[in-house]
Each structure stands twice: as structure tokens, then as C-alpha cells.
């Protein structure tokens, strides 16, 4: 217990004097000290309510006999950062969050932790920190945003980005664009589809680190406050029983997370974050295992942008637990794993029912017999690339077309908005990888412009960058090795034929080997000379995407 090292004894009198400076009492110092990592800020819609969540967690901790102490974690809004230099600073915050949380906990010492994240890199960053610190830990997020409404249809942030594409293509007028702008994001919370933030918050439940409902109870619901109080109380139970983060985030739990990912149709970013979390847990993770798990895991949900349902609908249908219950009907999960409830996953799922088969398909009537994510291999991606298969139109599962090559997102978006992309094209955006970007920007602007122009069923996009969970269409990211590391994507020329076969997990640049050898001898990958500060350090240390863009593991 932390009391033995920084509270009790004459030698810790200096420490106690500083605790007294905080206004703490002797009684509070004799209780377990619980660090509450609050990601509250006033710039991220998913985080603007976290002050209320934090206060509720503090209440729960105190009710259960602990002393809550709050400190902060940063968070970037990917939507606001999208489409400009700010997106280079999104993924890189995942490691800043993990590192700064480690620093705060190790410097001050806590008996347990409650993590309060919500948005994209904030959740995996705190999961990485939890694994690294290995203390009794519970997660409680801020919850998803309610869906918007335009013309009687539910909307989410992807609808907004696609509306920009539709306006650029002349399909809607300025008044309709303005209506989308005002109605798409109607409340606080993480954006309302199965995007990265909601994907990772749902996976906290599967990993056993979040209580039931953590991924799906809307931010605006009072039940979210109640959940936060329960999380505060529950961490005290974990402290009493000495159940720690790595007792919960085991190899079996991580495999469960991949399985649930396939059923839910999560963001492709999970294939960056799960390897990084596994690395902190000391668990080997090869992204190729995603195909093996996908082959036996049906896709049960088509949440926006893949379909017309939203996080609020998933919540009403029974939430993540109802999806897991369906998966147990084919013994696809290890239900013996421990969770933050203090019970096994199997015990947690007792009595759970699927309350809406239209939102969560029964396992005998899935959207597809294979999972929502696929990893493709071939000469263009020797170490793999990732596609959200469940969001790809059936006619684009197999596609061959000429490459349209761009060395940055900005180059590509300019041509797309000028209607320079034709049906059948394969848009290639390179030098946007973890090191080459640096920061591995999301390509939501170009994919939304393509979808908004009505080309998502005839145009593919390939990048060594990544995609927002809001992306739909034949959008293939995480190409490894990346262009900056000399991957073949650096040597693609305008007009080269590229063949994509998602069902067979292949991606091929159809250029003779002798021609490719000649290109490699004559051409050198581009080097960016204007990178400074944290991004420069990040680029020097980050691994390739197939390794999870892990720091200090370049490869």
C-alpha cells in the first residue's frame, strides 16, 4: 500500500506536510489513495462533460471508503484536427497520455486508479498506462453523443463530412450544408457512430476494464453519472482484492477484444491500438491473427457509418454485453477471464439478452459470416494493411483499377474536390505513415469527399496513413512498410494497375518485378526536412503501423 512508502512513519513527515497542504486529513490519508485520471477539457465535445463524470467517480470512491485525488490527461478532438497539420498531432498523443500518466502515478503513488477517457487516442493511451502501471484500475468514459437528425434521418459526424463532399460535387446547396452543420452533432459525447472513440470504449468492456454500459450509455443520460459512481465504488473492491490491470488484460482477454471487434464492426484504428496495448501487457500481437479470428466470427452490427444504427440504438439493444452473449452461442469467447467487476466474463453475461435483433443480428442471422475488419497482404503491403470490410460496398470487395498517386492528403483532396477522380480509380495517398507523416493522419476528408460525390462504390483509396472510424468505402490503410521506410507504395506510378481482393486478403501492384527493381534503383523515398519538435522525435522512434505504431520499437 502507498501508505507504507509515502504516508506512514516519521521519515514520511515531509510527505504528510504536503498532503496537509492539499487540505487532506489524517483520516483521508489512512484510506486507500485513488488516482482519478480526468481527461476533462473545454475543446473536445466528448470531454466537456467529464467534470461531472469526475465528480461522480469521486463520490463513488468516497462512498466506498477511499480518498479520491484527481489529476489530468490531455485529449485531442480528431474531428477538429482533421484535414490539416493538427491531425499529425492526434495519434502521437496516445503515447504522451500513457507516459504522462505513468509519470504522475509513479511520482506520487496511488493504491488504485479510475481512468476517465472518452475520445480516440485518450482511451488506448490510458489503457496502455493501466497495463504499464498494473494497479487496480477501472475505466469509465464520458459516453457517446446522441445522433443528430436531418430530413427525418439520424446523422453523425461522417454525415457532416460527406455533406461537404456532396456540396463540392453539386449534389446539395449551401442551405442544406448549413442544416447539416447545425444539426449533426446535437449533444456532448464521443461522435455517435462506431468510430474509434466508441470502438475503444466498447472494447474496454470486452477487455474487462470497464463496467457494463461503459461503451454505449449516451453521454447525456443520467445513467452515465450512476455508472461513474459505481466505477468509483468498484475500484475499491479491486483494491481490497488486489485485482490488478494485468490480471484482467490477459492474452485471452485481448483475443476476446479482437473477436468482439469483428462482431461489432469497429474502427480500423483498433488494429493500431490493440497491438500497442498488448505490447504493454507483455502479450505478442501479430495483426494477421485478425484474419484467423475474422474467419470464424460473424459480423453482427452495422453501426454508422456502415449502416443506419447508432450507439444509442446499440445501448437500447442490450449494449456490448448483448453482442458478447451472441458470440458465446458459438463458444467464440473465453468466458473464464477476470473482469473489473470482480467476476468472470461468463458470470457477467448471465441473464443478458439481445433486446433488438434488428440492431444486433442473432449469430445465426449475421450480416456476414466473417468479421468486420480484414488484413490484406501482397507486394504492395508485405507486412499488411487494414480495411473495415463491413463498411465496403459488395461491388468493391474485389476491384482493379489505375493508380492515382498523391504524396500528401492535401494533394489528393484538391483533385477530388475539383472532380478529377473517375469511377474505377484507385487513389493512393502516401508519405502519411507513422514516421513519414509523421503522425499517421486520418484520411476522413478524402474518403468523405469520395463518398459525398457518390464514388464510394467505384473508387478505392489506399494509404500508409489511417482512417477515421467514420470512414466508409474501400478504404485501405496502415500500408506497411510505409513509403518513408522504402515500402513499395513509394514506387507506385500514376496509372499502375492495383488489384484488391478483400475476401482473399490480397492487394497487388501489377507491375513486373524487373520494372519495380529499376524504379527502386532510380528513385529514393521522399524525406521531409521541415519536421521539428515533438513530431521529429516521434518520427525517429515510432514503429511501423503493423506493430501498432509503438514508440521505441522502430521496424
How far apart CA 482 and CA 437 sit, in angstroms, is: 10
Q: CB within 8 A of 70, min separation 6: which ones?
A: 36, 38, 54, 58
How far apart CA 258 and CA 163 sit, in angstroms, is: 32
Distance in Å from the first CA to the final CA of the chain: 39
Q: Is the dihedral of CA 127, 129, 132, 137 positive or negative?
A: negative
How far apart CA 436 and CA 527 sit, in angstroms, is: 8
The answer to whether 465 touches 442, Cβ cutoff 8 Å, is: yes
Nearest to 278 by CA among 294, 262, 263, 289: 289
The answer to whether 208 touches 303, Cβ cutoff 8 Å, is: no
Which residues are designated catalytic?
468
Q: CB within 8 A of 75, min separation 6: which ones?
A: 39, 41, 44, 46, 47, 93, 97, 117, 118, 119, 121, 122
How far apart CA 551 and CA 542 sit, in angstroms, is: 4
| 506 strand-pairing partners | 377, 501
| 116 strand-pairing partners | 38
The answer to whether 399 touches 426, Cβ cutoff 8 Å, is: yes
The owner of cell 467529464 is 50
Cβ contacts of 522-526, under 8 Å, gap ≥ 24: 523/490, 523/491, 525/431, 525/436, 525/483, 525/484, 525/485, 525/486, 525/490, 526/407, 526/431, 526/436, 526/483, 526/484, 526/490
Collapse the DSSP code of 344 into the 3-class scheme (helix H, G, I; strand E, B; otherwise coil) and give the result. strand
Collapse the DSSP code of 440 into the 3-class scheme (helix H, G, I; strand E, B; otherwise coil) and give the result. coil
Give whole-number Cα distances, 237 to 62, 111, 126, 229, 435, in Å. Answer: 12, 12, 20, 13, 42
Torsion, CA 287, CA 291, CA 292, CA 298, rounded to 10:
130
- Any idea what DSSP says for residue 86? G
Amino acid at each position: 500500500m502507498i501508505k507504507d512508502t509515502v504516508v506512514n512513519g516519521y521519515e514520511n513527515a515531509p510527505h504528510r506536510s504536503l498532503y496537509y497542504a492539499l487540505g487532506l486529513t489524517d483520516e483521508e490519508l489512512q484510506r486507500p489513495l485513488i488516482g482519478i485520471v480526468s481527461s476533462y477539457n473545454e475543446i473536445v465535445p466528448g470531454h466537456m462533460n467529464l467534470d461531472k463524470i469526475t465528480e461522480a467517480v469521486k463520490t463513488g470512491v468516497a462512498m466506498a471508503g477511499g480518498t479520491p485525488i484527481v489529476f489530468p490527461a490531455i485529449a485531442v478532438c480528431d474531428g477538429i484536427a482533421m484535414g490539416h497539420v493538427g491531425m499529425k498531432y492526434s495519434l502521437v498523443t496516445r503515447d504522451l497520455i500513457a507516459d504522462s500518466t505513468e509519470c504522475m502515478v509513479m511520482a506520487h503513488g496511488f493504491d488504485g486508479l479510475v481512468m476517465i477517457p472518452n475520445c480516440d487516442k485518450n482511451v488506448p493511451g490510458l489503457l496502455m498506462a493501466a497495463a504499464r502501471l498494473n494497479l487496480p484500475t477501472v475505466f469509465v468514459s464520458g459516453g457517446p453523443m446522441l445522433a443528430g437528425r436531418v430530413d427525418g434521418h439520424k446523422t453523425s459526424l461522417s454525415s457532416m463530412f460527406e455533406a461537404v463532399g456532396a456540396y463540392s460535387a453539386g449534389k446539395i446547396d449551401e442551405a442544406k450544408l448549413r442544416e447539416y452543420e447545425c444539426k449533426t452533432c446535437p449533444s456532448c459525447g464521443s461522435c455517435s457512430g462506431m468510430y474509434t472513440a466508441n470502438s475503444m470504449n466498447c472494447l474496454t468492456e470486452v477487455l474487462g476494464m470497464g463496467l457494463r454500459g461503459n461503451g454505449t450509455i449516451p453521454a447525456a443520460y443520467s445513467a452515465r453519472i450512476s455508472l461513474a459512481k459505481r466505477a468509483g465504488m468498484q475500484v475499491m473492491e479491486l483494491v481490497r482484492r488486489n485485482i490488478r490491470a494485468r490480471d484482467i488484460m490477459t492474452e485471452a482477454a485481448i483475443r476476446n477484444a479482437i473477436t468482439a471487434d469483428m462482431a461489432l464492426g469497429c474502427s480500423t484504428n483498433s488494429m493500431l491500438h490493440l497491438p500497442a496495448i498488448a505490447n504493454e501487457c507483455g502479450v505478442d500481437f501479430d495483426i494477421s491473427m485478425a484474419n484467423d479470428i475474422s474467419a470464424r466470427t460473424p459480423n453482427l452490427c452495422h453501426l454508422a457509418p456502415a449502416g443506419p444504427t447508432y450507439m444509442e440504438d446499440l445501448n437500447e439493444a442490450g449494449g456490448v454485453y448483448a453482442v458478447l452473449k451472441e458470440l458465446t452461442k458459438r463458444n467464440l469467447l473465453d468466458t473464464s477471464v477476470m473482469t473489473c467487476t470482480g467476476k468472470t466474463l461468463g458470470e457477467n453475461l448471465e441473464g443478458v439478452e439481445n433486446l433488438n435483433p434488428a440492431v444486433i443480428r442473432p449469430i445465426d442471422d449475421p450480416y456476414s459470416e466473417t468479421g468486420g475488419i480484414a488484413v490484406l497482404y501482397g507486394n504492395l503491403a508485405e507486412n499488411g494493411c487494414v480495411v473495415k470490410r463491413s463498411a465496403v460496398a459488395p461491388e468493391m470487395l474485389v476491384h482493379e483499377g489505375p493508380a492515382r498517386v498523391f504524396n500528401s492528403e492535401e494533394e489528393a483532396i484538391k483533385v477530388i474536390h475539383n472532380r478529377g477522380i473517375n469511377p474505377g480509380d484507385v487513389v493512393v495517398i502516401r508519405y502519411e505513415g507513422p514516421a513519414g507523416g509523421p503522425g499517421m493522419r486520418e484520411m476522413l476528408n478524402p474518403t468523405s469527399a469520395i463518398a459525398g460525390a457518390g464514388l464510394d462504390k467505384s473508387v478505392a483509396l489506399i494509404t500508409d496513413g489511417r482512417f477515421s472510424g467514420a470512414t466508409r468505402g474501400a478504404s485501405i490503410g496502415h500500408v506497411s512498410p510505409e513509403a518513408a521506410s522504402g515500402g513499395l507504395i513509394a514506387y507506385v506510378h500514376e496509372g499502375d494497375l492495383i488489384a484488391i481482393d478483400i475476401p482473399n486478403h490480397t492487394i497487388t501492384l501489377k507491375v513486373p518485378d524487373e520494372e519495380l527493381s529499376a524504379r527502386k534503383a532510380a528513385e529514393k523515398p521522399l524525406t521531409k526536412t521541415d519536421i521539428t519538435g515533438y513530431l521529429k522525435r516521434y518520427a525517429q522512434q515510432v514503429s511501423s503501423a503493423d506493430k501498432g505504431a509503438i514508440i521505441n520499437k522502430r521496424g
